[in-house]
Amino acid sequence: QHCDDRVAAGSLPSCLLAAGVRNFSLAGSPAYDALLNFSIQNLRFALPAAGAVPRPAAVVLPRGRSELTSAVLCARHASLRIRVRSGGHSYEGLSYTVGDGGDDADRVRFVVIDLMRMNRVRVDAASATAWVESGATLGEIYYAVASSSSSLAFPAGSCSTVGAGGHISGGGFGLLSRKFKLAADNVLDAILVDADGRVLDRSSMGENVFWAIRGGGGGSWGVVYAWKLRLVQVPNTLTAFTPKRTGSVDAIAGLVHRWQYVGSALPDEFYLSVFLTIGGASSSSPSRDGNVTVSFTGLVLGSKELAMSVLSERFPELGLAEPEMSEMSWVESAARFAGLSSTEELTSRASRTKHYAKSKSDYVRSPIARGAVAAILRYLAGGPAGYVILDPYGGAMAREGSGDTPFPHRAGNLYSVQYGVTWEAGDDGGGGGGGEARMAWLRALYAYMAPHVSKNPRAAYVNYVDLDLGTNALAGNVSSPSSSVSRARSTWGSAYFSPANFDRLVGAKTLIDRSNVFSNAQSIPPLQI
Ligand code: FDA
């Protein structure tokens, strides 16, 4: 075992150097820890603090397509498993850890191919398109698009350090999605490096694989080197607002209850989400006077007047006042909703805050009764620090068919729910930053929510990846590939994609990566290995 390990580790650098790839760091070398940790967003998987989490044999940072291809081939040559990382925001650390496929994780040797040096964004304002390397962050994309034209934008998530590679692979929902759908819905072409080092575009990968890579989740198909994106037209002036409302549990429950009828039914130009804080002092939990707080996040593609006239008619209970709103450009709104103080900060890859975190997700298809909303608010009061975000769907999201891309959560979904708990090293409730008690509380909340959310399957969003839903490792005792497909289909596969889309994904996987080179705890299994 150890002798084999040395041979494998030895052959990677020589293969890389022979291919002209110099930008890599082997375990134990001086730069290794900093390179590995830079993009780790969830400290639950920070290495080596977690101790038990195996570390990669090397971190390779290709600087372009041919180095990327060499990195894939050299990793295979050295019999190393591959983890591809763009922004490192995977909620379960899937881009830089192993522990999948029934393997004994401690003995799996692997390499992280980190795309952070492949972050070029080339905008063609005339055709309203952009070619974006997968290592670009959303902030880098937004900044480049806005620099080329004040009327162009791209619909994707709100956190500026999220990577294009993982985000677009799993869908990509953001404040423009009710008008322009997901990031993945706006992909016109892509360059994929497959397990054999072939460089494929839309026509050479074929429509099934091109369908799969736009929402079927990262890490299953190969490495997406770059995406060709359709940019969208936005007005020069948008209106942003983040009103907070405090009141009795019953009053706030009334507001949230009413929002359920409003959020998905507003005109496409409106985005209005709900943010509830779990536990803690300044939260939606009842304070000593029995009051709770809810925050809304609003963005309107238009003026304050438009925002006021529509919201005062459709949602008078919110009592939105003109001074609560600010007019700004799209890129200024992107910086604001990323929590940044200037648009230039969109180009920074460095995350300002990192926590230990665990998240889960749901979809709501019928409004939750007012009394039940009040009970949920009281339940949240008893929790550890965390949040619940309700993201409105409807609009253009509902006009895309549930099989048009692998992302199935379209017509009929009122909103998505994202639950998260966060903690810092040394916080009680888990010891050593493990946070077991916090994660147990989150799982109990998830069980508590079951009567109120989608069923058969209980749906979830693949970009909020959640290994509680089941893993390929759970199928570790199952030897036949068809059993592993059916296991995945009956658990996370249907939750993320619907049974029909999951079946099509398995077909696409079997076409592009029959030997399952690109696999992780929740990668799509091929029909035959
Ligand atoms: P990371 O590099 O960890 O990759 C995620 C997965 O994709 C891994 O399995 C990885 O191997 C694979 N992958 C990465 N690059 C690839 C490539 N080039 N080719 C093939 N596979 C690749 N989501 C959302 O829809 N809207 C939002 O507003 C937000 N906001 C948000 C904020 C914060 C703070 C976090 C931590 C996460 C979000 N997300 C989100 C979720 C986010 O979209 C999701 O975590 C993405 O997978 C992250 O993509 P990264 O490239 O950053 O992750």
pLDDT tens across 77-128, in order? 999 999 999 999 999 999 999 975 445 555 679 999 999 999 999 999 999 9
Q: Is 420 in the pocket of ligand 1 (CB under 6 A)?
A: no
Average model confidence (pLDDT) for the chain? Answer: 92
Q: Is 219 in the pocket of ligand 1 (CB under 6 A)?
A: yes
pLDDT tens across 269-327, in order? 999 999 999 985 444 556 666 789 999 999 999 999 999 999 999 999 999 999 999 99
Q: Is 139 in the pocket of ligand 1 (CB under 6 A)?
A: no
CA-CA distance, 117 to 94, in Å (whole number)?
20
Q: Which atom of ligand 1 is nearest to the CA of 213?
A: 20
| pTM for the model | 0.95
Q: Which atom of ligand 1 is nearest to the CA of 172?
A: 25
**Residue whose CA lies nearest to ligand 1 atom number 20:** 223
CA of 360 to the centre of ligand 1 (A): 15
**List of residues 6+ apart from 83 with CB closer than 8 A:** 56, 94, 95, 96, 97, 98, 110, 111, 112, 113, 219, 520
Q: Is 170 in the pocket of ligand 1 (CB under 6 A)?
A: yes
**List of residues 6+ apart from 241 with CB closer than 8 A:** 296, 298, 307, 320, 324, 325, 326
Q: Is 172 in the pocket of ligand 1 (CB under 6 A)?
A: yes
Alpha helices (H) in 118-176, listed in sequence order:
138-148, 164-169
Q: Is 135 in the pocket of ligand 1 (CB under 6 A)?
A: no
pLDDT tens across 357-369, in order? 999 999 999 999 9
